């Protein structure tokens, strides 16, 4: 009888816990942006923390997306009808004075968020600070061709390059301009309270939680539409989708391909899908005697059914790859067809060259690209079906990159984005003899690339780019599979949002109306 | 007593040096480094090598370690490579979120776990005891990853009762705290049950019953007090462990605590950040152990092993 007292004791405790819980809940629901009628804040769920808002250090997709609201570069990509070109942003105009010199006229009347005016000096400072070796930023890659930067008056800037460099404009799209005094005054704090010229300014950045932006009223151009933008950091794909379904967020980036239907079927949500400038491909490592053989690579290409990968694993949400360059970029060779898939031919070819069943080590990342692990596993299966003895390893991206760098695999998967609209930057790492990761070497390709870098005329350069693509299509130092799809889930009621070829989420023209 | 404490503090210091050395070496053994992670897919090997040189990663590991120790002695724990801010500042800004989460998780675990264990023990071999045991087993076996996702899908999305994830209001802490609490709750219930059974089999309990004390008094005054001692020890240790970062739970719920920071720093191979996180986790653990040891001595003078 006495022991029975325990039951009421437990229940009262449980009740107390529940009451506390409910109390907490009731006073928090109003602050929940998704459920109220408030339309002044647009909330975007993003997959990774930007880690620093200093755009001179940013080297990740989510970081670029956020920075695009706070900062502006001299010139930027213009995406129109699936074609990419370059337009002036903070540069009112730009011209190629001679082979080595570019002249930029800086837009007048632009102010930074702290009220300081934009001058040629701000641009010079930004570039020089990035090039300072003690600053430790990967962004030096974009500016490494620069020899000297000079200013003339407040609004004219000259950039001299070491060699004739056709890619300079492309590279400059990746370099947003910062406010020199703020950099000097704020020191470390510039990483979290940066000052730029963009249509939105930073209110608060709580690491691993969110970045809050508010409209900058003295913006020089067309002002942002929604008053506030919040980027919420939500690393887990499934949770980001759940948050979108509940209305905690309005836009969710990177919906996984197998969840696209979940979003499309939800009456409150819609999918925005585009293929991007990222080429997802396998790279052949020529250190392996078989991979170095042209016929063996031909057989691999025949064994891979690219269209099946796109249809069955990516839900048909992108297009199969033909060229090492993505469609829409300057010089994309559209006459190339998707390489044929024919297992029987592949087998015959392997027989012909006497492939002895040696192990081919294949590597792929997990969770970095859409369905990456599944794609790599399926491809391994296709190669096995053709009789190639594949040993597969898939690893979390941060463990994968170093193994890839030290060439631990005979064939490995990677997605390379051509964000600078100049293919030479990303081709250099795979097809230029001195720097090709897989060991590919072809003096003809080298000569064409050397020539293209120096060619300022677009038409001439396009011809060179096309020739290079045709050679690579035949020789197959890499196997382009498809172009990374960009899949964004959006709540109905969000207007003015469009997914971009460059995978950036830019919502300055978007707003949410319940 | 004084000598005991001094000795323990000195031991703690040695533990910290050891932890820092192991962390330092391990980090440099695992594949990858901050330079390769920073540049990832868009750079050539030469560019990565240049970055390594600039970051001082090419120095002999011993020199790097000595440099690190020298910095630590001046309480300079280094700047996070990926964030550009002092690593200690980042740890301090992520600590409150973790403490908040762990506090509520332990409250839930204690408030439910202790009574469950007591009930199970007092009704040994009954249906209720079996139910509690099965639940405790389940609670210890269910992966927090799965549990967290299910809670988000059912309670947040289907029933629309709580936010899915994130940090901010009181409502945000409920699901992650519960997810984190389930394992601890099960652990506490099981330990509580077995320690209560131990106590119940003692002669003085029989005596208490024999002299006619009501069962309730026996339970609360004699049994509970004695059976709580091992449980409290464990609660202390578990809390210390969780304060180092409830990694999976924080990651799923986008909770901006030390666990999330740890995952991210490892992905970036952010050496100074990870080293500082390990040092802090070691300090917290050592401190909690020290406090527990000192508490023992205070509670029971027989424990002073020193002669």
pLDDT, tens digit (0-9, with 9 covering 90-100), for A493-512: 999 999 988 889 999 999 99
Model pLDDT for residues A315-368, shown as the tens digit of each residue: 899 999 999 999 888 889 999 999 999 999 999 999 999 999 999 999 999 888
Dist. CA B82–CA B95, nearest whole Å: 19
Q: Are A57 and A131 in contact (CB under 8 A)?
A: no
- Residue B222 tokens read as 């004699």
Statement: residue A143 has pLDDT above 80? yes
Asked if the Cβ–Cβ distance from A28 to B169 is below 8 Å, we say yes
Q: What is the DSSP string of A420-450?
A: TS-HHHHHHHHHSTTT-TT----HHHHHHHH
For residue A28, the chain B residues in CB contact (below 8 A) are 163, 168-172
Q: A138 and B165: CB-CB below 8 Å?
A: no
CA dist A491 and A244 (Å) reads 7
**Parallel/antiparallel/unpaired status of strands A359-366 and A411-417:** parallel
- Shortest distance between the Cα of B67 and any Cα of chain A, in A, equals 18
Q: Helices then strands (H, E): number in chain B?
A: 14, 0
B-chain residues near A31 (CB < 8 A): 168-169
ipTM over 0.85: no
Cβ contact A59–B51 (<8 Å): no
Closest residue of A to B169, CA-based? A28
Q: Which two tokens stand for residue B241?
A: 């462990």
Nearest CA of chain A to the CA of B271: how many Å?
13
* Residue in A closest to B262 by C-alpha: A208
Distance from CA of B302 to the nearest CA of A (A): 34
- CA–CA separation, B3 vs B294, rounded Å? 12
Query: Per-residue DSSP letters for A20-53?
Result: HHHHHHHTTGGG-TTTSS--SEEEEEESS--S--
Does A4 contact B at CB distance below 8 Å?
A: no
Query: What are the sequence ranges of the domains in chain A?
Result: 274-484
Cβ atoms of residues A114 and A181 within 8 Å = yes
Q: How far is A241 from chain B (nearest CA, A)?
A: 10
B166/A248 CB distance under 8 A: yes
Closest CB to B214 among A2, A238, A425: A2
DSSP string, A74-109: SEEEEEETTEEEEEESSEEEEEEEETTEEEEEEPTT
Q: What is the residue-averaged pLDDT of chain A?
A: 88
The interface residues of chain A toward chain B in range 130-149, judged by CB-CB distance below 8 A, are 133-134, 136, 138, 141
Among B36, B42, B171, the residue with its CB nearest the CB of A28 is B171
> Do the Cβ atoms of A28 and B54 come within 8 Å?
no
What average pLDDT score do residues A465-487 get?
A: 95
Task: Kindly determine whether residue B37 and residue A398, on different chains, have CB atoms separated by under 8 Å.
Answer: yes
**Residue from the list A24, A243, A437 with its beta carbon closest to the beta carbon of B164:** A243
Separation of alpha carbons A463 and A466, rounded Å: 5
Closest Cα of chain A to B203: distance in Å? 20
Global pTM value: 0.85
pLDDT of residue A258: 87
- Nearest residue in B to A232, CA atom: B166
User: A365 with A498: CB under 8 angstroms?
Assistant: no
Q: What is the mean pLDDT of residues A231-253?
A: 93
Closest chain A residue by Cα to residue B261: A208
What is the structure's pLDDT at A488?
95
What is the distance between the alpha carbons of residues A278 and A326, in angstroms, rounded to a whole number?
Answer: 7
Among B119, B165, B192, the strongest candidate for a mutation testing the A interface, having the largest count of A CBs within 10 A, is: B165
- Residues 18-77 in A contacting B (C-alpha not used; CB under 8 Å): 21, 23-25, 27-29, 31-32, 48-49, 51-52, 54, 57, 59
Q: Measured between alpha carbons, how far is A251 from A240 in angstroms, rounded to an integer? A: 9
In chain A, residues with a C-beta closer than 8 Å to the C-beta of B153 are 242
Angle A243-A246-A247 (CA atoms, 0-180°, nearest 5)?
85
Give the distance from CA A285 to its chain's centroid: 25
> What pLDDT shows up at residue A82?
78
CA distances from A278 to A325, A360, A406, A504, B41 (A): 8, 26, 23, 12, 11
Strand, coil or helix: A395:
strand
Q: Cβ B174–A25 below 8 Å, yes or no?
A: yes
Q: Which residue has the higher pLDDT, A257 or A198?
A: A198
- Compare all CA atoms of chain B with the CA of A402 and give the residue at the minimum distance: B32
CB contact under 8 A, A242 and B55: no
Average pLDDT over every residue of A257-272: 93
**Nearest to residue A231, comparing CAs of A255, A254, A206?**
A206
Average pLDDT over residues A82-107: 92
Which of A22, A36, A209 to probe the B interface (max B CBs under 10 A)?
A: A209
Give the mean pLDDT of A220-227: 94
End-to-end alpha carbon distance in chain A: 58
Cα–Cα dist B204/B215, whole Å: 13
Read off the pLDDT of each residue in A123-133 and give the average, rounded to a whole number: 93
- For strands A91-98 and A251-252, give the pairing: unpaired
Determine the 3-state secondary structure of B256 from DSSP.
Answer: coil
What is the pLDDT at residue A4?
Answer: 44
The closest alpha carbon to B27, from B241, B281, B242, B276, belongs to B276
- Binary contact (B45, A405; C-beta < 8 A): yes
3-state DSSP percent of chain A in helix, strand and coil, to 5: 35, 25, 40
**Backbone φ, ψ for residue A251 (5° rounding):** -135, 130
* CB < 8 Å from B in window 162-191 of A: 188, 191
According to DSSP, residue B296 is labeled H
Q: What is the mean pLDDT of residues A47-71?
A: 89
B294 touches chain A (CB under 8 A): no
Does A209 contact B165 at a Cβ distance shorter than 8 Å? no
CA distance A402 to B145: 27
| Contacting B residues, span 162-201, partner chain A, CB-CB under 8 Å | 162-174
> Hey, how many other C-beta atoms are within 10 angstroms of the C-beta on B56?
11
Q: Which of A6, A27, A208, A237 to mutate to test the interface with B (most CBs of B within 10 A)?
A: A208
What is the chain B residue with the closest CA to A280? B41
Interval A274-311: pLDDT, tens? 989 999 999 999 999 999 999 999 999 999 999 999 99
Q: Nearest by CB to B171, from A25, A234, A428: name it.
A: A25
Provide the number of CB pairs (under 8 Å) joining chain A to chain B: 194
Per-residue pLDDT of chain B (307 residues; tens, 9 = 90+): 677 778 878 888 888 888 888 888 888 887 778 887 777 666 677 777 877 887 778 888 888 888 888 888 888 888 888 888 899 999 999 999 999 999 999 999 999 999 999 889 988 889 999 999 999 999 999 998 999 999 999 999 999 999 998 888 889 999 999 999 999 999 999 999 999 998 888 888 888 888 888 888 888 878 887 888 888 888 888 888 888 768 899 999 999 999 999 988 988 888 889 999 988 888 888 888 888 777 777 766 666 555 3
Q: Provide the CB-side half-sphere exposure for A215 (13 A, CA).
A: 18
Nearest to A235 among B85, B163, B251 (CB): B251
B 28-87 near A (Cβ less than 8 A)? 30-33, 36-48, 51, 54-55, 79, 81-86
The CATH label, of 3.10.105.10, 3.30.450.80, 3.40.50.2300, 3.30.2010.10, for the domain at A274-484 is 3.10.105.10
Kindly tell me if the per-residue pLDDT of A77 is higher than 70: yes
What is the distance in angstroms between the Cα of B244 and the nearest Cα belonging to chain A? Answer: 16
Domains of chain B by start residue, with CATH: 103-269 (1.10.3720.10)
Here the tokens at position A164 are: 């004739």
Per DSSP, the three-state class of B153 is: helix
């Amino acid at each position: 009888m006495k022991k029975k007292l325990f039951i009421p004791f437990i229940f009262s405790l449980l009740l107390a816990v529940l009451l506390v819980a409910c109390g907490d809940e009731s006073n928090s629901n109003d602050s929940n942006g998704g459920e109220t009628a408030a339309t002044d804040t647009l909330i975007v769920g993003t997959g990774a923390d930007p880690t620093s808002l200093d755009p001179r250090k940013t080297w990740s997709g989510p970081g670029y997306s956020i920075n695009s609201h706070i900062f502006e570069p001299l010139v930027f990509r213009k995406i129109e009808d699936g074609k990419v070109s370059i337009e002036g942003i903070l540069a009112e105009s730009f011209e190629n004075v001679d082979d080595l010199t570019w002249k930029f006229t800086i837009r007048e009347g632009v102010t930074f968020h702290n009220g300081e005016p934009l001058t040629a000096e701000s641009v010079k400072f930004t570039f020089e600070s990035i090039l300072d070796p003690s600053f430790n930023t990967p962004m030096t890659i974009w500016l490494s061709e620069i020899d000297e930067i000079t200013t003339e008056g407040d609004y004219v800037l000259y950039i001299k390059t070491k060699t004739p460099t056709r890619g300079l404009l492309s590279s400059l799209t990746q370099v947003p301009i910062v406010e020199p005094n703020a950099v000097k005054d704020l020191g470390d704090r510039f990483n979290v309270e940066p000052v730029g010229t963009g249509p939105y300014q930073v209110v608060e950045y709580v690491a691993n939680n969110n970045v809050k932006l508010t409209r900058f009223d003295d913006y020089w151009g067309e002002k942002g539409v929604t008053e506030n933008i919040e980027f919420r950091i939500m690393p887990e794909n499934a949770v980001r989708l759940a948050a979108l379904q509940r209305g905690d967020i309005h836009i969710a980036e990177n919906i996984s391909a197998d969840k696209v239907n979940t979003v499309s079927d939800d009456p409150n949500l819609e999918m925005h899908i585009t293929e991007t400038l990222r080429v997802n491909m396998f790279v052949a490592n020529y250190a392996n005697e078989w991979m170095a053989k042209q016929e063996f690579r031909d057989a691999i290409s025949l064994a891979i059914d690219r269209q099946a990968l796109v249809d069955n694993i990516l839900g048909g949400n992108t297009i199969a790859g033909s060229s090492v360059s993505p469609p829409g970029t300057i010089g994309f060779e559209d006459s190339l067809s998707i390489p044929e898939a024919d297992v029987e031919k592949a087998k015959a070819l392997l027989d012909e060259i006497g492939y002895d069943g040696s192990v081919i080590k294949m590597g792929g990342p997990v969770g970095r690209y859409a369905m990456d692990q599944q794609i790599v596993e399926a491809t391994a299966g296709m190669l096995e079906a053709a009789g190639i003895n594949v040993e597969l390893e898939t690893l979390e991206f941060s463990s994968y990159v170093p193994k890839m760098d030290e060439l631990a695999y005979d064939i490995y998967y990677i997605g390379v984005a051509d964000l600078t609209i100049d293919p030479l930057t990303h081709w250099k790492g795979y097809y230029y003899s001195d720097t090709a990761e897989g060991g590919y070497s072809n003096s003809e390709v080298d000569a064409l690339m050397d020539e293209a870098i120096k060619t300022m005329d677009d038409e001439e350069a396009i011809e060179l780019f096309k020739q290079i693509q045709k050679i690579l299509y035949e020789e197959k130092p890499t196997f382009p599979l498809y172009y990374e799809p960009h899949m964004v889930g959006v709540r109905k009621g969000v207007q003015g949002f469009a997914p971009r070829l460059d995978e950036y989420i830019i919502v300055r023209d978007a707003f949410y109306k319940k | 007593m004084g000598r005991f404490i001094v000795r323990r503090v000195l031991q703690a210091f040695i533990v910290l040096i050891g932890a820092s050395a192991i962390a330092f070496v391990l980090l440099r053994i695992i594949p990858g480094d901050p330079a390769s992670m920073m540049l990832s897919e868009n750079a050539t090997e030469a560019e990565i090598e240049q970055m390594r040189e600039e970051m001082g990663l090419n120095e002999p590991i011993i020199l790097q370690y000595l440099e690190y120790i020298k910095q630590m002695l001046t309480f300079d724990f280094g700047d996070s490579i990926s964030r550009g801010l002092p690593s200690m500042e980042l740890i301090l800004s992520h600590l409150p979120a973790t403490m908040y989460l762990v506090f509520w998780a332990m409250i839930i675990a204690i408030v439910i776990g202790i009574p469950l264990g007591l009930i199970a023990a007092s009704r040994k071999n009954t249906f209720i005891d079996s139910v509690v045991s099965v639940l405790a087993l389940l609670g210890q076996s269910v992966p927090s990853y799965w549990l967290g996702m299910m809670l988000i899908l059912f309670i947040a999305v289907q029933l629309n009762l709580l936010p899915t994830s994130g940090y901010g209001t009181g409502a945000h802490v409920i699901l992650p705290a519960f997810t984190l609490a389930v394992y601890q709750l099960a652990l506490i219930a099981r330990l509580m049950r077995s320690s209560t059974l131990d106590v119940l089999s003692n002669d003085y309990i029989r005596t208490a019953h024999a002299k006619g004390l009501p069962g309730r008094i026996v339970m609360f005054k004699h049994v509970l007090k004695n059976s709580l001692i091992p449980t409290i020890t464990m609660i202390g240790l578990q809390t210390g462990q969780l304060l180092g970062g409830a990694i999976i739970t924080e990651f799923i719920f986008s909770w901006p605590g030390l666990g999330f920071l740890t995952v991210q720093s490892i992905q970036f191979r952010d050496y100074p950040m990870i080293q500082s996180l390990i040092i802090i986790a070691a300090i917290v653990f050592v401190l909690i152990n020290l406090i527990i040891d000192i508490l023992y001595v205070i509670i029971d003078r027989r424990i002073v092993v020193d002669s």
